[in-house]
């Protein structure tokens, strides 16, 4: 599984390279998320695979990285091409001033 940081997530978001999967809870997602991100909480990923496109890489992120790693492992086992944001996450996204949807 490939790992990237928050700056690389931002670059891929601008290039529209992959599906951004935010695996935080719905309340966290509502407080601010990357535009166009799909929200599936990390503990629901295995039961909601049909909602996650499989035709392009899935860039998985959360607040800091732990939940993203768990969700990424589920996706990888299901045959997805997964790129996990392990350094940073949504907290760093906001700290860096990248655009956030509320």
What ranges do the domains of the chain cover?
2-95
Cβ atoms 59, 96 nearer than 8 A? no
**β-strand pairing of 19-22 with 2-5:** unpaired
* Domain at 2-95, CATH class: alpha beta
Q: What is the pLDDT of residue 16?
A: 87
Let me know if 47 is exposed, middle or buried by CB neighbors in 10 A (0-12, 13-18, 19+). exposed
* Active centre residues (catalytic): 62
| Residue that has been written with the tokens 């503990």 in this structure | 43
Q: What is the pLDDT of residue 15?
A: 87
Q: What is the pLDDT of residue 50?
A: 97
One digit per residue, pLDDT tens: the chain, 102 residues? Answer: 899 999 999 999 998 889 999 999 999 999 999 999 999 999 999 999 999 999 999 999 999 889 999 999 999 999 999 999 988 889 899 999 999 999
């Amino acid at each position: 599984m490939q790992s990237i940081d928050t700056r690389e997530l931002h670059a891929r978001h601008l290039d529209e390279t992959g599906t951004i999967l935010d695996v935080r809870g719905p309340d966290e997602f509502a407080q601010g998320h990357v535009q166009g991100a799909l929200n599936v909480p990390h503990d629901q990923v295995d039961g909601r695979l049909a909602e996650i496109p499989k035709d392009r890489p899935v860039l998985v992120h959360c607040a800091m990285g732990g939940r993203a790693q768990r969700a990424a492992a589920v996706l990888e086992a299901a045959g997805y091409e997964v790129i996990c944001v392990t350094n940073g996450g949504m907290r760093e996204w906001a700290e860096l001033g990248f655009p956030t949807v509320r």
